[in-house]
Amino acid sequence: MNSPMLTPLVPSLPLMDPGGYVRSAFDYWRDAMERSLLFLDVMRHRGNQYLEHIAKTKPSVLGFDTEMLIDGRELPRPVNYELLRISPPAGISIDPHKRPFVVVDPRAGHGPGIGGFKPDSEIGVALRAGHPCYFVGFLPYPQPGQTVEDVVEAEITFLRHVIERHPTISEKPIVVGNCQAGWQIMMAAALEPDLFGPILIAGSPLSYWAGERGKAPMRYIGGLAGGSWVTALLSDLGAGLFDGAWLVHNFENLNPANTWWTKQYRVFANVNTEASRYLEFERWWGGHVVLGGEEIQYIVDNLFVGNRLSTAQLVTSDGRRIDLRNVRSPIVVFCSRGDDITPPPQALGWIRDLYEGVDGIVANEQTIVYCVHDSTGHLGIFVSGSVSRKEHTEFTANMDYIDVLPPGLYETSISRANERPDAGLIDREYLLEFTPRTIAELDREVQHVPEDDVRFATAARISEINLGLYRLFVQPWVRALATPGTATWLRRMHPNRLGYRLLSDNNPLMAPIAALAEKVRADHHPVEEDNPWRVGEGRLSGQIAGVLDAWGHWRDRASEQLFLLVYGQPLLQAVVGLGTGHPPRRRPGGEPEHRRFVERRQAELRARVAEGGPHEAAMRSTIYVLGGAPATDERNFKRMRASRAELEPRSTLADFKHLLREQFFILKCDREAALDAIPTLLKGLPAAEIDAQLEHIRHVLAASGDLSAHAADRFARIEALFVRARSEASAEADEDATMKRSRPSVRKASGSASQRRRRKTDEA
């Protein structure tokens, strides 16, 4: 580069090239060659990193120190999962009174650790909030004969152990399930609902048939392949093991521009700044794991192609129905419109699959909260630092609030405090608000198309037929030919794995790259960003990415149209038994036992309308004013709970939750009778205490600013009821005073009328 022959020419270049194009071309050519060598060296590091990572017995990208508590391989039904306790980093202290936080990582082709990949992660947020944290990870190879049910039972065992480690905490653990782990956790919670506190499922496809046309290409893959027989074939070729690299391959095919060009070009264009970030992520992205053939077949048949989880059609091997309506913990669903792997319809469609209206959600005593991000991608939901600092921080900070929300369907929105007119009332950077929703409003996100359900049901029937034919005619031959040796060779030759190996030190052709790259780093000559050739490079890259994007969109549209055309044929639908005009699947009806339970519960609530005291009256009034929810946002909840703690220091969050839900159900059961009973609940209190209770309600409601016109009208009604109770209390006080003056002996023997009533209330 500093040849004596070139050096004299450099000063004269501007004279011969007034525009500087030759000089800029020379500078760009030199920089491009240097960046090419540095880029190849980054790829070499990536390959070496991959080989080092997969050679580990327990590869993980978890960024925190851990202690293993339970090895799933030692359970009665062995699995390759393990329960880890997260050790808090230096400078972070854990509050022993806070409920545990359990993060379950997805096993969908990649290795474990993404939930705690870096400090700004789900685990990092929970640790900074003072929660004891636990992590459920896994090993790269399954145990022989391992099933999905075995994994679900192992996670139930892990959760029981976490609860046992915190006997003084009455609230159950908060559980986070990312992607594939989300539906797995929901299955566990449906089987053992009493073990779970609030559940956060992030980017989890619980309703795989759902999706907006033109935006959910992955849901067509099973039908276009003729069903799940392909999964069985790959498992048989793997000698009973399914290579997770095939799942990663499907994910990468969704975005050909990023997979084949943009991701690599970003490193090439900014090799000095992007290399470390790229290598850090590739350590997880390339850490492929293996699934058992029986496991992946169950997943594809029952969830992806069959879509049986969202309509309570799954039954365990011992006869237990997996019905998501059994979940009693609040469920927080976090998804994004920018996610092409689990778009919002697939994350939220299970709600409308189970329920025709919100009344059904309330009758099942379920609280479902959903949050839809505008733009982040699938991995950004649980990897992005900005999402962790905002959404996950707010979810973690408000889990106690979410835990006491009355049954119903809510949408959350997060706003920056300094951008709101009531900023003075907010003590944190963001504010989390909750808005009650109906199933009709949810349908705007789900965009359900009944005709598509018939198509997917047809594809599921065809899948069963093809799988049966494969097992009868082909599977015996494939299994006879496949051996552990051939399976290992096929895994190594997978394109996703081979790319790492070819660009590593295992390839002799890469040997000179390290030395050349070291020389370039010592004397690198980067060009300015305004270099015309560098600008042209950027434009050319954009055009290449644009062409790949256009091809990907065309492919997705063609796949969608082919699927809709083939499986929309009335003849094909009739052949598989779906040509009757009836919906292919119905929402699960309420079982007679559950209906009788609801009827008994309503009768009990009606009998308790007039039972209680000032706490019940205040809670009932607050819920009524706020339209059925306990608070418009976290501020009301904090004031309500703090006030109750002052009035009843020994009350726990569980007591507060019970009181709130009980009063919510009483209002829901018979609102007019519940309101008319408020003066009865206040009987026996002096007028001053009734005024204090009314002021307490006013103080709680003021936490979120001025009331709306509707809420103000409701508060006026509550105020009138309290005034009526106050008048009755004043009248009683006057009566007591009169009795005291006229009949002191009787008064001494029996006490005042209000005291007698108060004694009766205490005895009751």
Percent of the chain with pLDDT over 70: 87
Q: Is residue 259 part of a domain?
A: yes
Closest CA to 325 of 315, 308, 314, 310: 310
The reply to whether 744 falls in a domain is no
- Tell me: the pLDDT tens digits for 300-325? 999 999 999 998 999 999 999 999 99
Average pLDDT over residues 692-720: 82
**Mean pLDDT across 162-168:** 95
Average pLDDT, the chain: 86
> What is the reported pLDDT for 659?
82
Kindly report, residue by residue over 238-259, the tens digit of the pLDDT: 999 999 999 999 999 999 999 9
Per-position b or e across 612-635, b if 16+ CB within 10 A of its CB: bbbbbbbbbbbbbbbeebbbbbbb
Domain end, chosen from 537, 563, 590, is at 590
pLDDT band at 740 (very low <50, low <70, confident <90, very high): low
Asked if residue 625 and residue 721 are part of one domain, the reply reads yes
- The mean pLDDT of 87-103, rounded to a whole number, is 93
Q: Note whether residue 613 is domain-resident.
A: yes
Q: Are residues 496 and 539 in the same domain?
A: yes
Are 187 and 322 a contacting pair, CB within 8 Å? Answer: yes
Residue pair 63/118 in contact by the 8 Å Cβ criterion? yes
pLDDT of residue 645: 60
pLDDT for residue 201 is more than 90: yes
**Do 494 and 368 sit in the same domain of this protein?**
no
Per-residue pLDDT, 420: 65
> Would you say residue 75 has pLDDT above 90?
yes
Co-location of 77 and 45 in the same domain: no
Q: What is the pLDDT of residues 611-653, one digit of tens each?
A: 888 888 888 888 888 765 544 566 666 666 665 565 566 667 7
Mean pLDDT of 77-93: 95
Domain membership flag for residue 596: no
- Residue 333's domain is classified under what CATH number? 3.40.50.1820
581 and 615 belong to one structural domain: no
pLDDT on residue 619: 84
With beta carbons less than 8 A apart as the criterion, state whether 209 and 353 touch.
Answer: no
The pLDDT value recorded for residue 238 is 97
Domain total for the chain?
A: 3
Is the pLDDT confidence value at 568 over 90?
yes
Count CA atoms within 13 Å of residue 601 on its CB side.
16
Indicate whether 738 belongs to any domain: no
Q: Is residue 326's pLDDT more than 80?
A: yes
Inform me whether the pLDDT recorded for 746 exceeds 70. Answer: no
Q: Find the domain containing 315 and state its range.
A: 66-209+307-447
Q: Please state, as a whole number, how many other Cβ atoms lie within 10 Å of the Cβ of residue 466.
A: 17
The answer to whether residues 172 and 111 belong to one domain is yes
Same domain, 231 and 363: no
Structure tokens at 457: 């049901």
* Mean pLDDT across 701-707: 74
Query: H or E stretch including 200?
Result: strand 199-202
pLDDT grade, residue 754 (50/70/90)? very low
Higher local confidence (pLDDT), 246 or 748: 246
Q: Is a pLDDT exceeding 90 seen at residue 536?
A: yes
| Angle in degrees, 0-180, between the axes of helices 21-54 and 9-16, rounded to the nearest 10 | 120
Half-sphere exposure of 47 (CA within 13 A, CB side): 21
Do 649 and 586 fall into the same domain?
no
pLDDT at 293 over 60: yes
- Using one digit for the tens of pLDDT, what is the confidence trace for 419-466? 665 655 556 677 788 888 999 999 999 988 889 999 999 999 999 999
Verify that 541 and 676 share a domain, yes or no: no
Per-residue burial over 245-282, b = 16 or more CB atoms within 10 Å of its CB, e = otherwise: bbbbbebbebbbbbbebbbebbbbbebeebbeebbebb
Together in a domain, 327 and 196: yes
| pLDDT per position as a tens digit, 340-377 | 899 999 999 999 999 988 888 888 889 999 999 998 88
112-153: pLDDT as tens digits: 988 888 888 899 999 999 999 999 999 999 999 999 999 999
pLDDT at 116: 87
**Residue finishing a domain among 405, 424, 447:** 447
Of 590, 615, 642, the last residue of a domain is: 590
Q: Are residues 519 and 640 in the same domain?
A: no
Structure-token pair, residue 288? 């492929």
Q: Are residues 279 and 389 in the same domain?
A: no
| Residue that wins the pLDDT comparison between 755 and 591 | 591
In a domain, 302, yes or no: no
Which pLDDT does position 756 carry in this prediction?
47
